A and B are shown apart, each in its own frame.
Chain A
């Protein structure tokens, strides 16, 4: 019998393989990030405020909005040709299916986070902290929680008439902690505060991720059952 984690990894590998062959979501999300940077450039009056000063907020808003584009299409493929039924008929626990989907989405969103950071660094001359690892940690942890929450709710919206247009309305009230503490930690680290300073924010991001994963593992089977 294949182990639970191997099954989850198989789901993730399938999703990522499909993604890298079609490059649908990657292209859309990447283009969105660059274009959002361009729009921010024109939307912000540089005589009043330099984009660098509000970079943490811009980075997170861009991650969340471009992430939504990808998360909303998590179950797009499964909706065609009865692929979801086949997946559910496979000897695969529902929670492993959820975790597999989260793993694939998390990797995608990690890419989104790093690409956003790179674009903003290029466009707005972000000053990277001397040791960028804590900053990367904040982005990776925050996007993991976002991917878990988004996958669960992506599963819900995929089953509604309104499809992914419902996703932001469901997700935004719930990701407020992510934005608050993610932006807080990112701003502090970009401003050169020592990493210890951001430990409380990191704990909240960790708690958010834990809640999202636990809720998803426990509740996902109620979403996919017919």
Chain B
């Protein structure tokens, strides 16, 4: 992929993502019906859930790009992994801020040891380790390998961390969209969730491409292809 393609891709995805974001905010504030038991605060859901999905998606991309980077040694894959990790960090931060705000009103507490909340918190710290390892290594090539190992082992461990946190009893509602007997949600709510999910997936990939392009440029400066 040439840098020009990357830039165009980021622009197109970004514009589409922002348009969908405006649309889903309109849906959230004016269109979707208010949930019966929790009231208006339940509308945080439309920000919270898609952010969580995108955060987890990003982590998957980090793990896959890291593994293939170690395998092929292609620097572009590392730049892709970093781009995904930074995006993932943003979206897990959104989950971790919107979650407690909602929890305060819905459950009466800012923080609970809820499985998915805890899993997201741990995921956030694994991302943090990914960046710390990278920034505290003198030899950048070595830092990239270290970070890739952190990304892969983190992803391998996710199922077990998930089991551990689920084992603790939870206030968090069971999945209501991704379940085997189909989503249990008002159709308008479902539309809003999917609009939001689409919007943030587009924005994530737009940021991903932008960051990837910056990474490529940085590498070119390091290699002296472009004068700094």
Q: List residues of A whose CB falls within 8 A of some B CB.
A: 149, 152-153, 156, 159-162, 166, 169-170, 172-174, 176-177, 179-181, 184, 204, 207-208, 211, 215, 219, 222-223, 225-226
Contacts and interface: CB of A to CB of B under 8 A. Distances in A.
Given A152-B149, A219-B70, A223-B146, A160 B125 contact: no
A169 B161 contact: no
Given A170-B133, A181-B164, A219 B153 contact: yes
25 contacts: A149-B153, A159-B142, A159-B146, A160-B133, A160-B146, A161-B138, A166-B129, A166-B136, A172-B125, A173-B123, A173-B125, A173-B126, A173-B154, A176-B161, A177-B157, A177-B160, A177-B161, A180-B164, A181-B164, A181-B167, A204-B160, A204-B163, A211-B160, A219-B149, A223-B149
B70 A222 contact: yes
Contacts of A219: 70, 149, 152-153
Interface residues of B, number: 31
B160 to A, nearest CB: 4
A162 B136 contact: yes
Contacts of A162: 132, 136
Given A159-B146, A161-B137, A207 B129 contact: no
Interface string B126-154: 10110011001111001001101110111
A218 B146 CA distance: 13
Q: Is the interface of A mostly helix, strand, loop or mixed?
A: helix
Nearest to B142: A159
Contacts of A177: 157, 160-161, 163-164
Interface of B: 70, 122-123, 125-126, 128-129, 132-133, 136-139, 142, 145-146, 148-150, 152-154, 156-157, 160-161, 163-165, 167-168
B211 to A, nearest CB: 23
Task: Count chain A CB atoms within 10 A of each CB in B123, B126, B157, B165 and give the residue with the most.
Answer: B157
Q: Is the interface of B mostly helix, strand, loop or mixed?
A: helix
A166 B132 contact: yes
**Which 10 pairs, one residue from A and one from B, show the smallest C-beta to C-beta distance?**
A180-B164, A177-B160, A160-B136, A173-B122, A170-B129, A177-B164, A173-B125, A162-B136, A161-B136, A222-B145
Contact of B149 (A176, A207, A208, A222): A222
Given A156-B146, A176-B164, 4 more contacts: A162-B136, A177-B163, A180-B168, A181-B167
A86 B136 CA distance: 25
A166 to B, nearest CB: 6
Contact of A180 (B128, B136, B156, B167): B167
A162 B157 CA distance: 24
Contacts of A152: 149, 153
Contacts of A180: 164-165, 167-168
A152 B142 CA distance: 15
Contacts of A170: 129, 132-133, 150
Given A166-B133, A180-B167, A204-B163, A174 B146 contact: no
Nearest to A174: B157
A159 B138 CA distance: 9
B116 to A, nearest CB: 14
